[in-house]
């Protein structure tokens, strides 16, 4: 029995490991983001086996990763082990030059789900996540179609990724009003230096019963501390593809300094502390590990049980704290002191 910890995904009965193996790096040779997608079938098989042996039961994919090749590889590597795995996959990004081959319309969702099932070589998807917003399709159509694939037994749970908070709240209210299956997962960019979602997304998720799946927990490798922040274009991997995550170099350096200090007291690496910081935030947080080497996955698994003290968490929180935005600072400035006193 491994030392992996588990949680229920949001307000659902779906039990997942708090680490998920991401498959964005899996490819049969596609030229899709060359600096990222470079793990072939044989290496992917070793990774999946090590993940399962380490207690990971949660696997994250998308129909857009290497044009569907990542799903195909994941399906092959889980052959004969399907009941040991919880598969999350995503849809919504453009798949071809055909005008209708994108978005969250009824037609595209139905065809995409069937494509995902075929590539994954499975009869069901444990968690289907909407990868991006689609403001051109009526929300009612999208949600009704999700209910249809759930009722058909093709999908068991649903979630969203990269949506604004107001749109998620609107959708969940519609689901509640119409007795539909509700979103149980939210997949967002979150790490020690990319913390925009702390203002409203995380609070919204806690209120609505959405479990967090944090993507890019190392900020594309930036938080490993291995790279010269002034010469990222010379690095390998995702960082060489450009500043996709729009990270402040000053905040990144502050975060790396704090992560390195915490790592020394735990005999760990800054990367492991970066993952542990997210997991220590809340019990229902999960972290997606995107590994291009087996050693990276093994290091990530070893970080699953690092417990950070309140003092260490406070230091990491303060290192690269996001600027306070309106109306957050306004609420604090206009706090009613009399209410605060008599209602304490």
3-state DSSP assignment of residue 204:
helix
Q: Is residue 260 part of a domain?
A: yes
CA 105 centroid distance within chain: 23
**Among 148, 161, 223, 157, CA closest to 188:** 161
How distant, in Å, are the alpha carbons of 151, 190, 248, 315 from that of 329?
45, 22, 21, 21
- Residue 235 has what pLDDT? 60
What is the domain extent for residue 196? 6-342
User: Is 147 inside a domain boundary?
Assistant: yes
With respect to residue 98, please indicate whether it lies within any of the assigned structural domains: yes
Specify whether the CB–CB gap between 316 and 277 falls below 8 A: yes
| Pair 65, 59: CB distance under 8 Å | no
Strand partners, 7: 16
Contact (CB, 8 A) for 212 and 198: no
- Domain assignment of residue 1, yes or no: no
Please report how many Cα atoms fall inside a 13 Å half-sphere around the Cα of residue 320, on the Cβ side. 24
Q: How many Cβ atoms from other residues are within 10 Å of residue 228's Cβ?
A: 8
Which residue in 338, 315, 341, 321 sits closest to 251, CA to CA?
321
The rounded distance, in Å, linking the Cα atoms of 31 and 250 is 32
Let me know if residue 16 belongs to a domain. yes
Number of domains in the chain: 1
* CB 194 within 8 Å of CB 219: yes
Q: Is 38 helix (H, G, I), strand (E, B) or coil?
A: coil
pLDDT given for residue 72 in this prediction: 98
Residue 188 bears catalytic tag = no
Q: Checking DSSP bridges between strand 15-17 and strand 6-8, what pairing results, if any?
A: antiparallel
pLDDT at site 249 = 85
Q: Between vectors from CA 93 to CA 90 and to CA 98, what angle results, nearest 5°?
A: 130
Q: What CATH number is associated with residue 59?
A: 3.20.20.100
Which tokens in the block code for residue 201?
């997304």
What is the Rg, in whole angstroms, of the alpha carbon atoms belonging to the chain? 20
19 in any annotated domain: yes
How close are the terminal C-alpha atoms of the chain, in Å? 47
What is the structure's pLDDT at 215?
97
The whole-number pLDDT of residue 97 equals 87
Active site residue: 6, 65, 188, 326, which one? 65
Token reading at 294: 């087996």
**Angle, helix 139-151 to helix 165-177, in steps of 10 degrees:** 60
Question: What is the model's pLDDT at position 312?
Answer: 97
| 114 contacts: CB under 8 Å, gap ≥ 6 | 154
Q: What is the mean pLDDT, run by run of 10 residues, along the chain of 344 residues?
A: 90 98 96 90 98 98 96 98 98 90 95 98 98 96 98 98 97 98 98 95 97 96 84 60 74 94 96 97 95 95 95 96 90 91 90
Residue 66 phi, psi (nearest 5): 50, 40
């Amino acid at each position: 029995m491994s030392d992996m910890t588990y949680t229920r995904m949001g307000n659902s009965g779906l039990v997942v490991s708090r680490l998920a193996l991401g498959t964005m790096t899996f490819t049969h040779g596609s030229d899709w983001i060359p600096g990222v997608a470079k793990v072939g079938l044989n290496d992917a098989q070793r990774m999946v086996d090590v993940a399962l042996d380490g207690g990971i039961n949660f696997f994250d994919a998308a129909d857009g990763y290497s044009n569907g090749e990542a799903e195909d590889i994941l399906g092959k590597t889980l052959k004969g082990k399907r009941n040991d795995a919880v598969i999350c996959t995503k849809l919504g990004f453009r798949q071809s030059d055909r005008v209708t081959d994108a978005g969250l319309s009824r037609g595209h969702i139905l065809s995409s789900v069937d494509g995902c099932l075929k590539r994954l070589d499975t009869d069901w998807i444990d968690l289907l996540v909407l990868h991006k917003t689609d403001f051109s399709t009526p929300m009612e159509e999208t949600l009704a179609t999700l209910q249809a694939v759930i009722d058909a037994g093709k999908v068991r749970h649903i979630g969203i990724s990269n949506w604004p908070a107001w749109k998620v709240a609107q959708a969940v209210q519609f689901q509640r009003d119409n007795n539909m299956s509700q979103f149980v997962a939210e997949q967002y960019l979150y790490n020690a230096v990319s913390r925009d979602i702390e203002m409203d997304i995380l609070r919204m998720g806690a209120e609505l019963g959405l479990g967090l799946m944090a993507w890019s927990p190392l900020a594309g490798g930036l938080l490993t501390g291995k790279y010269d922040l002034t010469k990222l274009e010379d690095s390998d991997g995702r960082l060489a593809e450009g500043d996709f995550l729009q990270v402040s170099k000053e905040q990144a350096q502050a975060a790396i300094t704090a992560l390195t200090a915490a790592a020394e007291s735990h005999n760990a690496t800054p990367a492991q502390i970066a993952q542990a910081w997210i997991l220590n935030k809340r019990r229902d947080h999960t972290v997606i590990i995107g590994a291009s080497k087996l050693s990276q996955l093994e290091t990530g698994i070893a970080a699953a049980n690092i417990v950070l003290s309140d003092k260490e968490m406070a230091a990491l929180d303060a290192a690269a704290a996001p600027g306070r935005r309106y109306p957050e600072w306004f609420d604090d400035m206009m706090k009613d002191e009399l209410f605060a006193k008599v209602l304490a």
